[in-house]
Structure 1
Amino acid sequence: MTYRNPTPTVDIIVELTHRPHRPIVLIERLNPPYGWAIPGGFVDYGESVETAARREAKEEIGLDVELIDQFHVYSDPDRDPRQHTLSIVFLAIAAADPVSGDDAKTVQVFEPWQVPDRLCFDHDRILGDYWRYRFHGQRPRL
């Protein structure tokens, strides 16, 4: 008997502590689905989610991040058009400017009021939850 299970992923909301307003970093994806997204990716076999988050941040935005919090898990079966994934979202900080890495066509720093509309996957929902937490202290509800 074989089992089909969701694939674990990580997303990392990175605040830049050395800039005013602590902007966040987004990537423009190089591969489909195209568009703006929170940095992140798949957890490798034998890797912890924390290690995956640090690795993906380094690969995609060129930053060694400090993980601050495991924010929330997003697991809607339709959140990724490629396959059923579940994402462990981390909050992280960094004190340097990002650079585009392997899966990023472009990397850009955004103030809260500059974030583009219609992000990839369910990242609009994730960032909505993040902004409510950051500015009002309200964590996502189950």
Structure 2
Amino acid sequence: MPLPKTPALTTDCVVFDAEARVLLIRRRGHEPYAGSYALPGGFVEIGETVENACRREALEETGIKIDVLRLVGVYSDPARDPRGHTVSVAYVTILPRAVVPKAGSDAAGAEWIDDWRSVELAFDHAQILEDAEALLRVRRRD
């Protein structure tokens, strides 16, 4: 899908369970990053809040319903998506218990990963995960 000449708006959802595993999807056979692990997320629809887009994308791609979200940050490097300039708003949540994910939408798979650093991630999702973990560490100290 070609992107418009103005930046596109997306959302990325960092979902941890009580065991500190992260929920990742496997991208379908579409470029960029076909078959790679990624955070659940996607394009924000017209008339939709970014928060609701995060919840919708997580549900569509993993079958998991998300309620409480905490802002991680805004990611706007023009080179973060090889298709064109895409700005993403990332959120984090911690589920009290792991729910079995069911891949759907444009996800070829969805699973809980113990050590996300051991897998190759699409886009700038490693940076987003690092920022989410740092945010949660600071929050625990407060």
1:4-49 residue CA offsets vs partner (Å, 9 max, x unmatched): 42111000001123xxx23110011002222110110000011111
- The Cα of 1:106 is off from its aligned counterpart by 1.0
Once the 2 structures are TM-superposed, how far is the Cα of residue 114 of structure 1 from its aligned partner?
4.6
Contact 1:78–1:84 (8 Å) recurs in 2: yes
Secondary structure at the counterpart of residue 51 of structure 2: helix
Equivalent in the alignment of 1:32: 31
Q: Which amino acid is 1:32 matched to?
A: E
Q: 1:103 aligns with which of 95, 102, 106?
A: 106
Aligned equivalent of 1:46: 47
Write the deviation string for residues 104-141 of structure 1: whole angstroms up to 9, x where unpaired.
11111012x35433311011111122223334x28xxx
RMSD: 1.9
SS in 1 for 2:69: strand
**TM-aligned CA distance change 1:128 to 1:93, over 3 Å:** closer
Partner SS, residue 54 of structure 1: helix
Runs of 4 or more off by more than 3 Å in structure 1?
114-117
For structure 2, which runs of at least 5 residues remain unmatched after alignment? none
Indicate if the aligned counterparts of 1:65 and 1:93 stay in contact, CA closer than 8 A: no
Query: Which whole-Å CA distance do the structure 2 matches of 1:123 and 1:63 have between them?
Result: 19
| Identity in percent | 38
User: Separation in 1 of the partners of 2:10 and 2:25?
Assistant: 16
Verify the 8 A CA contact 1:13 1:92 in the aligned structure 2: yes
TM norm structure 2: 0.83
Report if the CA contact (8 A) 1:74-1:86 is conserved: yes
Which amino acid in 2 is paired with 1:82?
R
Superposition TM-score, scaled by structure 1 size: 0.83
Aligned length: 131
Matched, 1:93 2:94: yes
CA distance in 2 between partners of 1:100 and 1:61 (Å): 5
Q: Matches of 1:28 and 1:65 in 2, distance apart?
A: 19
Q: Distance in 2 between matches of 1:131 and 1:93?
A: 11
| SS, match of residue 132 in structure 1 | helix
Q: What residue ranges of structure 1 are gaps of 5+ in the alignment?
A: none
